[in-house]
Structures are given as C-alpha cells and as structure tokens.
Amino acid sequence: MPQHVVVIGAGVIGLSSAILLQQAGHAVTIVARDFPEPFETMDPLTKINYTSPWGGAHNRWVPPHPSLPPHLTREHALSRTTYTHMQRLYHTHPHTAGLTFLKGVEYMERPGPAQEALSTPSAPNALDLPGFRLLDRSEFPGGGSGSDGKGGGVTWGCEYDTWCVNPMVYCAFLLRRFVNRGGRVVRRELRRPEEGFALSAGELGLAVDGGGGDGEKGVPVVAAVVNASGTGLVPDPDMTITRGQTCLVAEDCDVTVTRQNEDGTWTFCVPRGFEGGTIIGGTKELNNWDTKPSAEVRAELLRRFVETYPKILGDKKELTVVRDIVGRRPTRNGGPRIEGEVVPGAGFVMHAYGLGGRGYELSWGVAEAVVEGVEAQIKGAAAKL
C-alpha cells in the first residue's frame, strides 16, 4: 500500500530524497520555506539560510584514509553512489538537468597520507577513481618551478573525471520532475519536524472526506517525516555553519580546479555551465555568521585563482565579476546525520542533514539511505500489526 511521506526541505537533499521515495512508490509531499528559483533573482539577505543556491557545486573526490576521520569512509561511498546517479541523469538529460561532466584538477602544496596512498607506484589509483591520473611536475601551476610565490608551491597534483551542477538549474529540474510525477509541494515554515505529521488532508492532496485519510479527526496518516532542513529547525548542539565567500564571474572554465594551500586556505573554481559563469572560491570559516561579502577577500580569491589557472582568462586581462556570494554550509560535528528516530507522540522522523560542504556530491547516496530507513520503518510497523 502506498504510504504518505512528508519531506521537510527543498534543498538538494530534500529534493533528491523526495524523488527516490516517489520512485519507490510512496505518496510524497515536500514542505519547505524555500524552493528553487532563478539564481539571478535570488535575494542573499532573505535566502542566506537556504544553502543550496549558494553552493558551487562540483564533486571533488575526498579519499578516505585511516589517518582521517572515519565518517569520510562512509561519505566516500555516498559520493560514489551519487556519481553513478549523475552519470545516468546526464545520459538521459544532457541539456536540461543543469549537469556537466568534465575533468577535475587538484593541486596541493602539502599532500597528506591520503594523497601519498594514491601516489604509490604499485597502486597509483587504489580507490579506482574514474579517469584518475597523477600530474607531472611540469603540469603544476608555475611549471613546478618551486616556492616562488607564483603558484610554484604546489608539490602534488592529479586529475580525474567528475561533474558540476548549476545549482538552481539542477534543483529546479529536480523539483519539476517531482511535481510532474505527482509530487505535492507546500510552502510553509515549520517550527518542529513533528508538525509534518499534522498536515491536513488537503495539504497532502487527499480528498478531505476519506480517500485514505484514515487517521483521527480527519488527520491523515503520515508514515514518516524526512528532516532535510539544512541549517536548522530546532537546535542540534552538534550543528553549526561554515561560512563560504565566493565570487561568480562571467567566464567559463574547461575544468573544475581545487588547490589546497599550505596556509590552510583554498583556491578553486566551479564552472556552472548553462550560461551561469564560473564560481571562484573560496573561504571556509567555521561559525562565522557574517552575511556581508568582503571586497578584499574577493580580490584575493580572484588573484590567487588567476595565478593558479591563468588559462581561464583566455585573451582577457581580468575576470568579469557578476556577483559576490556568501553561503552557510550546514556543518555537523562528527559528520552528517542520516538516521531514523521515533519521536514520542509524533512518529518516525528520518534525519538527513548536516551535509556541510558536500550536499550535492553526496545527495543521491543520502537519498538512497533515506529510502532504506523509511522502508525499514514501514515494514517494521506493518509487521507489528
């Protein structure tokens, strides 16, 4: 019997979860304060807590390693699952999904043990990353000429196959697909996920008198609520944000580049495709709630990127700034929370939040886990009857 599932959140996590739940045969309603809209008219002041528009967003493979936090092992598996879904989506919708496949290039000034493991001559690609190749010194920025302050500080580099999305083109595509297949959407701000269980039959798209509304007082039975609310509904003491300032420029780029500098800063670009320019980034500032972009930071980000990858300029002298971006990555101490919880007096809540800087790259893996959690709950509840 199809079950009603309410998904709170229309960021990349809520949308992906809603689509896979729907595909598994459930009747799904998305309830959210914010929905995808064109990036060009997105208001940074009112939408700062809706993270999905402000992401890059690319997939950057993050190799797990025994010396690194254990949640990275799980996240790597989620990113592999997501990659497979993205390949399929690209195959069926190359012009409409907002998705681009391209090379990812990584440069590091100080590689760690995970990179060293990928550089072993006997097993140069132990993780079997698609299209993986170690770069030769001559391919490093500045021609690998050493620490000359002109990008020569890079000591390790690789390239691989990966993907980027134009976030709002991609999220709007997901939303359209969901609604086109019968999904319901309600724009509403909730205070607690438990409120998802108390939505009226009308809001769930049911005939008000019956039609499946078999709960008490005309309240229909919602089998599960998915908590995909991003940066926060009620406080989870492990939740915070990581501020990111980036800059959108009009130029395209043929690859997505990530450079990790010795001082802990990042220099990267994410081409958005679909006439969306390229994101040049970016900062990672834990617990910084400042909403305003800094002009000095922008200048520094652009300068460092051009130094790392001058090819982006073509025959221009400088990059063409479209707008500054400030976003809040939903960061969770110990990694994302993807698990079910029975909330007394309400029902089964499947949590899917705390994706930090990796929401897009883990999205389909998280959505599969959400379906698994919800179905295990429904089967368990049926077995008890």
Ligand X SMILES: *[C@@H]1O[C@H](CO)[C@@H](O)[C@H](O)[C@H]1NC(C)=O
Measured between alpha carbons, how far is 201 from 218 in angstroms, rounded to an integer? 7
Residue closer to ligand X by CB (options 227, 246) is: 227
Determine if 172 is a binding residue for ligand FAD (CB under 6 A).
no
When asked if residue 11 is in the footprint of ligand FAD (CB under 6 A), the reply is yes
User: Judging by DSSP bridges, how do beta strands 4-8 and 222-227 pair with one another?
Assistant: parallel
Q: Does 227 bind ligand X (CB under 6 A)?
A: yes
Residue 17: its H or E element: helix 12-23
Is the Cβ–Cβ distance between 348 and 224 less than 8 Å?
A: yes
Q: Pick from 229, 246, 267, 331 the residue near ligand X by CB under 6 A.
A: 229
Instruction: Return the residue of 3, 4, 7, 14 that touches ligand FAD, per CB under 6 A.
Output: 14
Could you tell me how many residues of this chain bind ligand X (CB under 6 A)?
18
Least separation, in Å, of the C-beta of 177 and ligand FAD? 16
- Is there a contact between 248 and 298 (Cβ–Cβ < 8 Å)? no
CB of 190 to ligand FAD, least distance (A): 4
In angstroms, give the least distance from the CB of 116 to ligand FAD.
24
Answer yes or no whether residue 156 interacts with ligand FAD by CB under 6 A: no
Number of residues counted as binding ligand FAD (CB under 6 A): 40
Closest CB 144 distance from ligand FAD, rounded Å: 26
The interface partner of residue 305, options being ligand FAD, ligand X, none and the CB cut-off 5 to 8 Å by kind, is: none
DSSP helix/strand/coil, 12: helix
Which one, of 6, 368, 364, 18, lies nearest residue 178 by Cα? 18
Residue 98 CB neighbours (<10 A) = 22
Name the segment binding ligand X (CB under 6 A); options: 20-28, 70-78, 144-152, 232-240. Answer: 232-240
- By the rule CB under 6 A, 239 interacts with ligand X: yes
Residue 171 or residue 378: which is nearer to ligand FAD going by CB? Answer: 171
Strands 285-286, 156-165: pairing is unpaired
Task: Find all residues with CB under 8 Å of 107, minimum gap 6, and list them.
Answer: 135, 140, 141, 154, 156, 157, 257, 258, 259, 260, 308
Residues annotated within a binding site for FAD: 51-52
Tell me which stretch binds ligand FAD (CB under 6 A): 54-62, 68-76, 99-107, 151-159: 54-62
- 56 near ligand FAD, rule: CB under 6 A: yes
Binding-residue pattern over the window 337 to 356 for ligand X, x denoting contact by CB under 6 A: ------------x-x-x---
CB of 23 to ligand FAD, least distance (A): 18
Out of 234, 313, 376, 382, the only residue in the binding site for ligand X (CB under 6 A) is: 234
Q: Which amino acid is at 299?
A: A
* Structure tokens, 227: 């908590």
The interface with ligand X within residues 353-372 (CB under 6 A) comprises 353
Do β-strands 255-260 and 222-227 pair in parallel, antiparallel, or remain unpaired?
unpaired
Site string for ligand FAD, 287-326 (x = CB under 6 A): ----------------------------------------
Q: What angle do CA 177, 226, 217 make, to 5 degrees?
A: 100
Query: Interface with ligand X includes 126 (CB under 6 A)?
Result: no
- Nearest by Cα to 1 from 218, 219, 214: 214
List of residues 6+ apart from 308 with CB closer than 8 A: 107, 141, 151, 257, 259, 267
The verdict on 230 binding ligand FAD (CB under 6 A) reads: yes
Task: Compute the distance between CA of residue 66 and CA of residue 285 in angstroms, rounded to an integer.
Answer: 26
385/380 Cα distance (integer angstroms): 9
How far is residue 120 CA from its own chain's centroid?
31
User: What are the residues binding ligand X (CB under 6 A)?
Assistant: 46, 48-49, 192-193, 227, 229-236, 239, 349, 351, 353
User: What are the residues binding ligand FAD (CB under 6 A)?
Assistant: 8-14, 32-34, 50-52, 54-58, 189-190, 228-231, 233, 244, 246, 270, 282, 327, 329-330, 353, 355-361
